[in-house]
Structure 1
Amino acid sequence: MSDPKNQLRTLSRGLDVLELIEAAPAPVSLTELARQMGESTPIVFRILQTLEERKYVYRRESDKRYTLSGRQSARGTVFRVMTLLRVIAGSASRGRSLTELASGTGFEAAVVQELLDPLMERGIVEVNRLGEDRWRMSAKVLEFVRPLLAENDLTTQLIPVMERLGAETSETISLFRRISDEHVLTAVQPSRQPIRYVMEVGERFPLHLGAAGKAELAFISSEQKARILQRLGETSSAPDKDQMDRLNAELELVRQRRYAVSVGERVEGATAVASPVRDAAGAVCGVLSIMMPSFRVSDEQLHQMGEALVSALQNVFIPATGEQFWQGLSPKE
């Protein structure tokens, strides 16, 4: 049996190596580690071999320098995971490839993959396949912020409006917020009728489909709309020219009416009407929608609901500075 004192000394050296690699601003060489530790190169090399076998460190093939893998101290793990998530969050719905994530974080591709695996298993990130694997944030992250979302200024001010509209229409009232090119459902006042149209908080949808998305697209700045439609044109589900012309014509009609309607567009047999919520500066900060089964509403009733929705939102005052939290979640345009 080996001497316990030698075992402790070896363990101490291994921890020293990990701490030096973690503190280094860039991957370090065997020679640099040996010099900093005041140890011989063979001793440090044996320590590194053990750490590499146990997947605590990773040696780059390009220059044989060492960096930490995804398996490391809690402090290092949190730092790397947060760095990776920030890069993924900035990629919007299209996502980023493994090469792009490695470049954006400064980590080796193998390290990025090691960090991605548990995030994928837990549904925090997901793959958006567009010819290659591209990783993006999943709507599951909203589970961590739902309590805060439910208490933000916009939701708080709209709850009485949602309750009143729900009582008047007997239908589901939903609040949507935009994150980059998608709409996310952030609050719901469900219909009490046995047959109803209700979705789960956290679900997300493309902006060009459905009443809520079009109500937002019609009123955001022309620059933002142009960027969103341009990115839409680069996706595998991009509308053709005729569909895009119809979309632009419909958005113009939404601007005139101040509300959008949708019948069976996202969900067969479902109908919705939606209108934008404006802050004090006039910017769209959310969309309120009335959602119902199609069989229960006529075309005339649907437009009456749209007008009632516009009227209900006219007296809602949202401070222009009250959306800082949500803006912090959204990638900048």
Structure 2
Amino acid sequence: MPEPGVRVLGRACDVLDCFTETEPRLGVADIRARTGLPATTVARIVSTLLQEGLLVREGDSYRVGLRVLVWSAPARSGSSLLGVARPFVDQLRDVTGESAGLYVRQGASRVLVISAASQHSVIYRGYVGQVLPLHAGAAGKCFMAFDEDALGTALDAGLERFTDATVVAREELDRQLAQVRERGWAFTESEREVGLNSVAAPVTGFDGRPEAALAIGGPSIRLDREEAERVGPIVAATARAIAARMGHVPAEEPADV
């Protein structure tokens, strides 16, 4: 028979396993029905998971907390995508001179799973495991532009304003996403942090939707609109090269990389 601590851990996992992409929010009654655990046991486990940040309460329902998303980054570190993408991220940093990174989507958030810091003195400093919103920033726009589920999830979560430049109106968001689809890459200015701009492109998966988003970020004094027009196609070509190396799209060498 399992030790008490192991048994409790197993039951906590059973509770967390109840939450899925199609049912991200559940009430206590839903959790009881799915696990078959007694009401007192469910209440005790849910209370502990809340304290540890593994669950978040929203009214009478619960959802998985962002702490779980942070753990997902190292969990993905051995994936083939990360192994393939790492040299491309480093190369993109060297070619553009700006910090480069690869993001994967988790619900209404994006998680940085590869980071390559710029050699400039004034740079964007991201870190592996960093959790950021989809709607603010070029990488998130790539997920929303090419994946209806990502867009719907972001809208359901709400378009929080971070700066005066954050897009919170649906009409403007739709206009920007159409532009991303038209040119194949995204450029955003000061949407999450004043003075921080970014350029990103989708890394297409087998189903045609983004498996990841490749991005560079830098201060607006360097990464302005003119510079974005120059490096945008490079970021997009590099993202396609990653997808090709994964076998998702026909092989194509990235321009100037």
Identify the match of residue 110 of structure 1 among 40, 52, 56.
Answer: 40
User: 5+ residue gaps in structure 2?
Assistant: 162-167, 249-257
Matched, 1:297 2:223: yes
Q: What code does the residue aligned with 1:76 have?
A: R
| Paired residue secondary structure (1:218) | helix
* Structure 2 counterparts to residues 71-90 of structure 1, below 5 A: 73-90=4-21
**Larger RCO: Structure 1 or Structure 2 (Cα < 8 Å, ≥ 6 residues apart)?**
2
Q: Distance in 2 between matches of 1:225 and 1:236?
A: 13
8 A Cα contact 1:210 1:262, kept in partner: yes
Q: Residue 177 of structure 1 aligns with which residue?
A: 104
- In the alignment, the residues of structure 2 paired with residue 314 and residue 295 of structure 1 have an alpha-carbon distance, to the nearest angstrom, of 28
Residues 271-312 of structure 1: per-residue CA shift (max 9 Å, x gap): 111100013553321000101122222210022121110122
In the alignment, is the contact (CA less than 8 A) between 1:270 and 1:293 conserved in 2?
Answer: yes
Question: What are the residue-to-residue correspondences of 1:38-77 with 2, within 5 Å?
Answer: 73-77=4-8
- TM-score w.r.t. the length of structure 2 is 0.80
Determine helix, strand or coil for the equivalent of 1:205. Answer: strand
1:190 equivalenced with 2:102 (yes/no) = no
Deviation at 1:171, TM superposition (A): 1.3
Instruction: Give the RMSD, CA atoms, in angstroms.
Output: 2.9
What SS does the aligned partner of 1:315 have? helix
Q: Is the 8 Å Cα contact of residues 216 and 284 (structure 1) preserved in structure 2?
A: yes
1:137 to 64, 80, 97: 64
CA distance in 2, matches of 1:226, 1:319: 26
Q: Which moved more, 1:72-81 or 1:294-303?
A: 72-81
What is the distance in 2 between the residues matched to 1:152 and 1:171?
25
How many aligned residue pairs are there? Answer: 240
Give the Cα–Cα distance (whole angstroms) in 2 for the partners of residues 143 and 226 of structure 1: 21
Q: Which residue of 1 aligns with 2:164?
A: none
Compare the two structures and name the one with the higher helix fraction: 1
State how far apart, in whole Å, the 2-side matches of 1:162 and 1:135 are: 36
Structure 1: gaps (5+ residues): 1-18, 23-71, 321-333
Among all aligned residue pairs of Structure 1 and Structure 2, give the percentage whose two residues are the same amino acid.
24
TM-score by length of 1: 0.63
